[in-house]
Structure 1
Amino acid sequence: MTDVGEIRRLIEHHPWVTLVSAGADGLVASHYAVLLDDDRDDLTIVGHVGKPDDAILDLGKRELLVVVQGPHGYITPRWYGDGPAVPTWNFVSAHLSGIPEILTPEENLRVLDRLVERFEGEDGRGLYRAPNDAAFVDRLAAGTVGFRLTPSRVVGKRKLSQNRPAEVVDTIIEGLADGPDANPALAAEMQRAADARRRAGRA
């Protein structure tokens, strides 16, 4: 998966990511929500970590790997028909690597405000909405470190049974859409990919 638009869509819909760094004592990982940088149209992301995760990750000093996990799930061989088959796991993911830039306190506040707005919505409780005031928000923000990552390396992966005949893919989608093995998010992702292949004449 190399299309920037598709990877942006993945990040937009699955903002809870894993941050991995090789720290002084070995590999370390943290989990945070990120956003696409609204000033860019590439794969630049912005986010924050709570202290002391910035020190644990050596944020801004070492390469950071950001793992974006999209829909995924078990695929039973029952859906393949009567021939020999083994189970597998379908998934969509992206790995973004690079050395992040540390945001200024003002930039970090803007990112935190955007992050709250993203999940609260226009009618939700915004970062500065009462009973919060600016002093309260500033104290909380001081315990975080914001970052911007423009990845120098991107690896997108999409395994959605695209090697199977169209009729088998349709059976898998039906099985994931409803019933004991239901995984609607994965079914929708597979349907979207199958429709794209059919439009391109690669079904």
Structure 2
Amino acid sequence: MRENPRFALSEVAEVRRLIEENPWVSLISATSAGELVASHYPVILDRAAADDEIVLLSHVGRPDEQLHELGTHELLVIVQGPHGYISPGWYDAAPAVPTWNFVTAHLHGTPEILSDAENLRVLADLVDHFEDRMPEPRRMNGTLANAEYAARIVSGTVGFRLRVTRFTAKNKMSQNKPAATVERIIAELDGDGPYSSPALAAEMRRSREGRTE
């Protein structure tokens, strides 16, 4: 990812927030066969990690662990937050080109393969993480029958823990534009036009709080 100091996102807390709010990620491996392999799975943060660490918990379905050669080399995890088209018509009258605002992070680390027991716990935590907001949450381990079912599905998945050893993150939210232009862009994104995106508008507001002219 091309780096630009103006758009760099370096705070671990902000990257953790990005992961929590956008848990569907891309897993990319360069294998020993010289091939690139990509898969897509949900992740959660390991709550046992220190505040200044980023540790991911997840799983892959078999045979993805073989295709990725999981655990034998570094894995690239791409997290994508809100993004969208920004029309030059939202700027001022001066000539301009369109652009795309986005927030994303590239995370690197070598996965640690989990035992079946740990994998089952992570699968249950994943389900709980997403079911907690439901009016009647469904749990993997809610009954003996569910527990037996959960134990069976472990055989079809491989759990992993990934401690992020380095990351590159970018938060491009029109920081290079005047404050009045940023306000117009936010208003358009909050509107009902063809490129409206309230989630992207919210991210721009977060970035605007710390901007300097």
TM-score category by the smaller chain?
over 0.9
Aligned position for 1:183: 197
Q: 1:63: Cα distance to partner?
A: 1.1
* Residue-by-residue CA offset, 1:113-146 (whole Å, 9 max, x unaligned): 1100011117410112358432211110111001
Question: SS state of the match for residue 151, structure 2?
Answer: helix
Q: 1:10: Cα distance to partner?
A: 0.1
| TM-score (norm: length of structure 1) | 0.94
* Residue-by-residue CA offset, 1:82-120 (whole Å, 9 max, x unaligned): 001000000000010111111111111111111000111
Alignment of 1:6-155 (within 5 A): 6-23=14-31, 24=33, 26-40=35-49, 41=51, 42-121=53-132, 123-130=136-143, 132-155=145-168
Counterparts of 2:48 and 2:183 in 1: how far apart (Å)?
Answer: 39
Counterparts of 1:124 and 1:162 in 2: how far apart (Å)?
Answer: 41
* Residue-by-residue CA offset, 1:132-168 (whole Å, 9 max, x unaligned): 4322111101110011111122001110000000000
Evaluate the alpha carbon distance shift between residue 89 and residue 131 of structure 1 in structure 2; reply closer, same or farther with a 3 A threshold.
farther
State the one-letter code of the partner of 1:33: P
Question: SS state of the match for residue 154, structure 1?
Answer: strand
Counterparts of 2:132 and 2:151 in 1: how far apart (Å)?
Answer: 21
Evaluate the alpha carbon distance shift between residue 104 and residue 169 of structure 1 in structure 2; reply closer, same or farther with a 3 A threshold.
same
Structural RMSD (CA): 1.3
Aligned position for 2:10: 2
| TM-score (norm: length of structure 2) | 0.90
- Unaligned runs of 5+ residues in structure 2 are 1-8
Number of equivalent positions? 199
Counterparts of 1:51 and 1:169 in 2: how far apart (Å)?
Answer: 46
State the one-letter code of the partner of 1:195: E
Question: SS state of the match for residue 133, structure 1?
Answer: helix
Aligned position for 2:172: 159
* Residue-by-residue CA offset, 1:156-190 (whole Å, 9 max, x unaligned): 11100000000000000000011212101000000
CA contact (8 A) 2:30 2:37 kept: yes
